[in-house]
Structure 1
Amino acid sequence: MTLGMVFATGLAATSVAAQDVTLRGASMFDEQHAFTKTMQKFAELVNENYDGEVTFDLRLNGELGVESDYLTFLQQGVAVDYTIMAPSNMAKFSPSIPLMDMPFLFRDLDHWNAALSSDVMKPLEEELLEKADIMIIGYTGGGTRNLLSKDPIANLDDLNGHKMRVMGAPIQAQIFSALTAAPSAIAYNEVYNAIQTGVIAGFENEAASIQNLKFYEVAPNVTLTRHTITVRPIVMSGKTFRKLPEDLQAAVLKAGAEAGTFGRELESSEDAVKLQEMIDAGQIKVQEFENRDQLLEMVLPVQNEYANSLGAADLLEAIRAK
């Protein structure tokens, strides 16, 4: 059976032969996006650290669907072997994992990098593997998420009742509800049309995705809430990983960690650049959020209650202490 025939039957394209392996990746974005560049770096690093033959088949521009599709494929061990995903989109199988992507979790980039360079997220990694059979092999991210809206939002009065899209994990809606907005979970590929048709008035995202998917066309106002510094795990199907030879498994783990470092540096450095590019092109108007410190105070009880409900109060304190 050829590798093409394997994929045609819906199986992830991974050969059991140590010298003949194909791993399929998926990205919703084009070749210029930091996620794509990070996955390309991952492939390069695996081949540098493995003596056998590995082919990487990376499908771009949402060819294999969106993150909710990737999640199902990874969990079942079909069609997608590795990708980069938002933790909140994995809550379906791992209820605790959105903690690492919770708004207002990190004080600044130094705090974010210290946490991701440590093993503080290990309990969440173990839960994801146990409940979804998905492995975290590295951490990328680094985009700063802000509010993007059709009309300007300057302060809490403007945010009150604001109909906005959030990711599917309940903590996302809880945080923005506490800030008096009116959040709802809408599929990512429906956001553009939802703003265009008035179903929502905005959402939250980082500069790279705003630019890549041209969200500024329907929501040109960016408010600098800086509520999230993104954590984006590089993930692999556990079923795929277990099929690999031991030396290739070791190469994958090493490459995942190193690609994560590469991706964090890339995306965090690109974020301000991409924001400025859109400003210079007249695509967006940017303003600060008045009295942002008040937002931090308003969300603390929600964060604490969420962590307590997961039995993860100690983990939250460990992250805060980094």
Structure 2
Amino acid sequence: MTLGRRTLLALTAGVFTLAAAGPTFAADYTLRIHTLVKSPHPYNDMAAAMKEEIEAKSDGQIAVEIFDSGQLGQDPAVIGEMGFGTIDLMISTTSNAVQQIPEYAIFTMPYLFTSMDEALEKVGPGSPVQAHFEKVYEERGVGMKLLALGLSGTRNMSTADTVVNGPDDLKGLKMRTPPSPMDAKTWSAFGMLPVTVAWGELYAAMQTGVADAMESSLPGYTGSKLYEVAPNLALTEHTIQVNHTSISEPTWNKLPEDLQKVVQEAAVSANAYGVEKAKEYDGALVDRLVSDHGVELTRPEKEPFIEILAPLQVELAKELDLSEEYELLKN
């Protein structure tokens, strides 16, 4: 068979194109990571770090796809999907998982830690607290394996109309809470009216007056543009937010041991990276919120808040069947 000149040129161009692109191989596994938040946020930084490390150290056997901003759904629904293995990994706050893991409610107890460094020492990889929650996952049969617990910054109060300088300013305000009994009971102690609202619905809730007040991390507040509907920010630093990196149990079980190790190590290193990013964001975001977005900033004294809540800690832990977790964190 004789090939025409045009055909030869086309084939030659195709060969050079393939050569330039290099060999392509399909990954043996594709892992989908869910986060609920928009960037900038430590969770998305952690997801990007995990993707880079997993793909590099698995020599391309694992491909990682990141779905941020709740593209795959809200956390409770995502946790259900992970039990089936349709979503593989998630990085999120523990407070959004209390429906499936009630013990996580302990981390929403205000003024439990004095700093992020102290908190990481208490809950980080290798700690008795992490081992405890790994066991809780197994006992509750949530269909997930806990890879790491970490921190994603302080949580602070913000309101639609009220400038907060102390506890008295909170009385009568409708306070948005996640589905966490600890949150509801905590804010009730200030005379607030708890209203349960999912994170993805929070902007609308503040905008329409369903809630008057909310609390969040600074990256979450900034990334979701909540300063537009809650422009009064009080740096109460009442909670150091604890996050979890978890993997679907069906996904984990189908990975060979060497790749399980790659994923586990990537979660631990991403966790440490997330803590550093959280510190960075907390420092930089306050200035930007004031200068770029006109946020009204106050720095209330913490002692009046602590005085109201301190007597409730042991009582709340006992009432919510969290005494074991409370003692672990306080020892």
Q: Report the TM-score, using the length of structure 2 for normalisation.
A: 0.85
Any residues of structure 2 matched to 1:229-308 within 5 Å, and which?
A: 229-290=240-301, 292-308=302-318
Any residues of structure 2 matched to 1:104-183 within 5 Å, and which?
A: 104-117=111-124, 118-121=126-129, 122-131=131-140, 132-151=142-161, 152-183=163-194
SS at match of 1:281: helix
Can you list the C-alpha shifts for 1:30-83, whole angstroms capped at 9, x where unaligned?
A: 4533211101111222234334611111123322122222222123322x1101
Change in Cα spacing, 1:52 to 1:219, as seen in structure 2 (3 Å) is closer
Any residues of structure 2 matched to 1:1-322 within 5 Å, and which?
A: 20-51=28-59, 53-78=61-86, 80-117=87-124, 118-121=126-129, 122-131=131-140, 132-151=142-161, 152-290=163-301, 292-309=302-319, 312-321=322-331
Once the 2 structures are TM-superposed, how far is the Cα of residue 283 of structure 1 from its aligned partner?
A: 2.8
Q: Percent identity?
A: 29
Q: Report the TM-score, using the length of structure 1 for normalisation.
A: 0.87
SS at match of 1:228: strand
Once the 2 structures are TM-superposed, how far is the Cα of residue 186 of structure 1 from its aligned partner?
A: 0.8
Instruction: Give the letter aligned to residue 228 of structure 1.
Output: T
**Counterparts of 1:287 and 1:30, CA distance in 2:** 25
Instruction: Give the letter aligned to residue 185 of structure 1.
Output: T
Instruction: Give the letter aligned to residue 139 of structure 1.
Output: L
* Contact 2:32/2:66 (<8 A) preserved: yes
Instruction: Give the letter aligned to residue 299 of structure 1.
Output: L
SS at match of 2:150: strand
Larger Rg: 2
Structure 1 unmatched ranges of 5 or more: 1-17
Structure 2 unmatched ranges of 5 or more: 1-25
* Contact 1:86/1:101 (<8 A) preserved: no
Which residue is 1:13 aligned to? none
* Contact 1:171/1:306 (<8 A) preserved: yes
**Counterparts of 1:298 and 1:120, CA distance in 2:** 29
SS at match of 1:44: helix
Aligned length: 302
Once the 2 structures are TM-superposed, how far is the Cα of residue 284 of structure 1 from its aligned partner?
A: 0.8
**Counterparts of 1:269 and 1:75, CA distance in 2:** 34
Change in Cα spacing, 1:266 to 1:248, as seen in structure 2 (3 Å) is same
SS at match of 2:65: strand
Which residue is 1:10 aligned to? none
* Contact 2:34/2:89 (<8 A) preserved: yes
Change in Cα spacing, 1:287 to 1:85, as seen in structure 2 (3 Å) is same
**Counterparts of 1:302 and 1:133, CA distance in 2:** 33
Calculate the aligned-residue CA RMSD, in Å. 2.0
Can you list the C-alpha shifts for 1:210-235, whole angstroms capped at 9, x where unaligned?
A: 11111111110001111111111111
Change in Cα spacing, 1:232 to 1:252, as seen in structure 2 (3 Å) is same
Can you list the C-alpha shifts for 1:173-208, whole angstroms capped at 9, x where unaligned?
A: 111111222122111122111111111112001111
Instruction: Give the letter aligned to residue 154 of structure 2.
Output: T
